[in-house]
Amino acid sequence: MNDDYSRGDLLYLPANVTLYQFDEGWIGKETGAKPRRHTNTEKPINVLVLNRTGNSDYVEVLFESQPWVVLKRHVYKTDNMGDK
């Protein structure tokens, strides 16, 4: 698993992965932060990377037109067809 993600990278999320939204200003460094919302993927999907978070365990992605964070261990970088 490669966890070197940049803004605009396409990631694959399998089914049943939990995504989180935290309060404004959460930068991912707080160990006890509680999410204000969460959702699960119902089927495998691709999402775009928005930003790195302050916590190396998470990455911010665009899912259903909203920013969410997801644990890096649950995502996979897709191959870029243009790089071949």
Q: Domain map of the chain by residue range?
A: 10-79
Residues in Cβ contact with 18 at an 8 Å cutoff, skipping those fewer than 6 apart: 38, 39, 40, 70, 71, 74
pLDDT tens for each residue of 43-74: 999 999 998 776 678 889 999 999 999 999 99
Average pLDDT over residues 24-33: 60
Q: Which CATH architecture has domain 10-79?
A: Roll (2.30)
pLDDT at site 36: 85
pLDDT at site 34: 76
Residues 45/70, Cβ–Cβ less than 8 Å = no
Q: pTM here?
A: 0.78
pLDDT at site 27: 57
The side-by-side arrangement of strands in the sheet containing 66-71 is 37-40, 18-21, 66-71, 58-63, 45-52, 10-13, 76-77
β-strands 37-40, 76-77 pairing: unpaired
